[in-house]
Structure 1
């Protein structure tokens, strides 16, 4: 390998994943010399997309990693002239309890024509601040994006249907009753009015401060929305990760103010064009 110049760098970054690459690009744009390394024999760290055989090899290599062990306590120094601190670094494997099964000793036909993401496809809303950061640092030149053509959700019978997330989608949805369509429209209008009032610094009494601090699912129930409409809002639009109805075991209860922010971000992202 050719020698890397200069021999001294302002910043050393371990890893070539999305966060590390954004940090490296931003530092370079600020006229800092950056050396970016990756302990893996591939670019992209744990955000990489690999062919089938490489994917299996990577999983097997992670399986062989030893369990983390705590490092011995580093000696303390009383020298106040030092402007740095020593910390104990512990390396932990990202993947654990891997089970790899192969149903054929021969590689699949055309396996080189598709790739598998190590962490699965990531979904970013077009109005998310992360998009602006990606564009500003130029990382988008090394990434591949695909627009989401439609969003679907499953009903109680296991049938897929499009998510009624806009005025036109609501009125085209045949699974919603006339009453449900009106309720959903009034709810979106309430959220839009509250957001506009806040953005204009006029203060808003459309949603009280007490309701904003309450669980979002309770606020939706207070508005008289059916379980079907609440599921659409919570899991298809706000994209809650945990069962919001079961608050005793829910690990992340979404407050009304956060739910409204998610809704606003979602609606502002629909139809936005990004110059990738």
Structure 2
């Protein structure tokens, strides 16, 4: 424990003597690998192991992803490395409608700008960064060459996947009545998040929606998803340009969710009419 504290103090001393121009030029690139567990719900109980393996192979591109995070002291740009489906030889066009687009974060100005494509239309989602009340824990561990410290938080689940959709979202959004006929507000689902950050890389960035810790976030576990940094390059030879996306219809996160909801209700209604 004493050696950990001494290392932490050493990092603070180094930062205190860093020249302003060096801080300004500081930039880097981090590669993350994301893996999610397959959730089949009640349908899984009816499937054989062979069927589960087949579905898992088909959904591999959705369950396993690779991302790149470019960053400097105040800005970051997060994007997915697109992969070809090993089975069909094509990209996942359906899943792309509900996947996370290229994301720009400015932690100094509390600004989020994210490019999203939904059924052929391009949107530019502009909003504030999701506030995260992190709790710094006592545990530490090494990730690669970096000493990392643990932090935890509880975040509204929809704030982490606001660009995504599940048919259950429509059922949850429908108003329910109590015994007196009054509307019952739907319960807000929360997700427990565990993050590991390193003060050795003194930026407040992280992958996806995660940010706000005193060091780059190298690992995140949230629900059934884990994101782990596999490589970090600090001050690469080729200068990294970080700019916010500019193309698309400007919209807020909440308004974008309403667009998705409206389209999926339309699809459901059209499907119902065809069955008659």
Select the structure of larger CA radius of gyration: 1
TM-score (norm 1): 0.23
Going by fraction, where is helix more abundant, 1 or 2? Answer: 1
Going by fraction, where is strand more abundant, 1 or 2? Answer: 2
Structure of higher RCO (CA pairs closer than 8 Å, 6+ residues apart): 2
TM-score (norm 2): 0.23
